[in-house]
Amino acid sequence: MSNYIYGVIQTEKGKNFGPIGIGGGDEVYTIIYLDVAAVVSDSLPAALTTLPKEEIVRYLFAHQSVIEKVMKEHTIIPLKFGTTVGSAEEVKEILEKGYPKFKDALEAMAGKVEFDVVATWNKDSVFKDISQEEEIIRFKQSIGPQPSAEDKVKLGQMVEGFLSNRKETLAPEIIGALAEVSEDFRLHDTLDATMIVNTAFLIQKANQEALDRRLDEIDRKYDGRLNFRQVGPLPPYSFSTVEVKKAEFGEIGRAREILGLSQEATLSQIKEAYWNLSSEYHPDKHPGDAAIRKRFEDVSWAYELLTEYCWGEGCSFREKDAGDFVKVDLVGIGRRE
């Protein structure tokens, strides 16, 4: 039976979390390897990502709901949404391949939770402030009571410029103040000019009140000119999410053939083959040639796969040595600047 994987916890005992699965009413339980366990349920169809957007969002919320319920009892390292494998044996293989990384991540995240903080302008307040800027006042006086469409566009651009300048000053100040009571943080993209901060903070569970107090201090400092939204506690989505990449032996063999490699190769030989072929088939040298572009894409795909597979001094592409390939990565979502 195939399995849908939500995350990894530390435990030596099997556990059933009840009928809370992503599919609706399916049991969520553990599959154990040594002292770590995958939290799983019977899988959804492999075509999950081809469903309508509304369905995908519903499944995503269900996925997060399971992780957050498990989090009440365990530190959990989430797996990327949509991770499905063919059997319990494959789940154990993932646990085995990623065991050192899982142990390190579980230790690093123990006793910590994520809080996401969004700060936006209070539009009435900030636009009132900006309207008092000398440059804005002079421009409004120059265009008179009936501005043209072009004048309105220019005025909007001037306002956006002032918002951007204020954001460049405020965002580091807000993030810096909250980072002082955090273990780490990750910056996420701001959606528009009205959003100043969209940041995830890693917090010790025992330090949640310190974050609340700091937010209150910042809110009072800006006297209602900003709106804050805080979401949490959450699992450490932005700091330690597991991504599982799988490749059958046939794909590894095809990648080897594309790069023209023998049955054994070193990482430097893989890189050399890639650079030679990518230079030969680069689309810039053959503008408009669809076949060349496809060849270049194949070479890039083969290089990416084989550099993930061959991470030691050398590697064998023989089936008895390679088999199917499973790579486990711990990734952080967002950026730290």
Highest mean pLDDT: which range of 36-40, 60-64, 240-244: 36-40
**For the segment 136-195, what is each residue's pLDDT rounded down to a tens digit?**
667 676 777 777 777 677 766 776 767 777 777 888 999 999 999 999 999 998 877 778
Q: What is the pLDDT of residue 29?
A: 95
Let me know whether 134 and 230 are in one domain. Answer: yes
Q: 21 and 87 in one domain?
A: yes
Nearest residue to 162 via CA among 130, 131, 191:
130
Do 90 and 128 share a domain, yes or no? no
- H/E stretch holding 327 reads strand 325-331
Q: Confirm whether 10 is domain-assigned.
A: yes
Single-letter amino acid code for the residue at 325: F
Q: Do 118 and 229 reside in the same domain of the chain?
A: yes
Confidence of residue 256 (pLDDT cuts 50, 70, 90): confident
313, 204: one domain: no
Q: Do 230 and 117 share a structural domain?
A: yes
- pLDDT at residue 324 above 60? no
User: The domain containing residue 76 runs over which residues?
Assistant: 3-110
Does residue 240 fall inside a structural domain?
A: no
- For residue 243, is it within any domain? no
Is residue 17 within 8 Å of 69, Cβ to Cβ?
A: yes
Q: Would residue 239 count as lying in a domain?
A: no
Strand partners, 234: 114
**Rounded mean pLDDT, 88-98:** 86
Q: Is residue 266 part of a domain?
A: yes
Query: Is 13 among the domain residues?
Result: yes
Q: What is the total count of domains within the chain?
A: 3
Backbone angles phi and psi of 196, in degrees to 5: -95, -45
Structure tokens of 328?
Answer: 């486990």
Are 96 and 43 members of one domain?
yes
Question: Could you say which of 170, 204, 234 is where a domain stops?
Answer: 234
14 and 30 in a common domain: yes
Query: Do 26 and 12 belong to one domain?
Result: yes
| The predicted structure's pLDDT at residue 30 | 95
Listed residues 94, 110, 126: the one ending a domain: 110
Neighbours of 282 (CB within 10 A): 13
Same-domain check for residues 88 and 147: no
Look at residue 260 in the predicted model and tell me its pLDDT: 92
Query: Looking at the structure, do residues 230 and 120 belong to the same domain, yes or no?
Result: yes
Q: Order the strands of the 112-121 sheet from edge to edge.
A: 184-187, 195-204, 112-121, 226-234
* 222 and 293 housed in the same domain: no
What is the band of 212 on the pLDDT scale with cuts at 50, 70, 90?
Answer: very high
Predicted model pTM: 0.70
Q: Output phi, psi for 236, to 5 deg.
A: -80, 60
**Is position 242 within any domain?**
no
What CATH number should be reported for the domain holding residue 215? 3.30.70
Q: Does 208 map to a domain?
A: yes
147: phi then psi, degrees, rounded to nearest 5: -70, 150
- 231-248 pLDDT, tens digit per residue, is 989 999 998 888 777 666
Last residue of a domain, one of 110, 134, 151: 110
Q: What is the mean pLDDT of residues 327-333?
A: 68
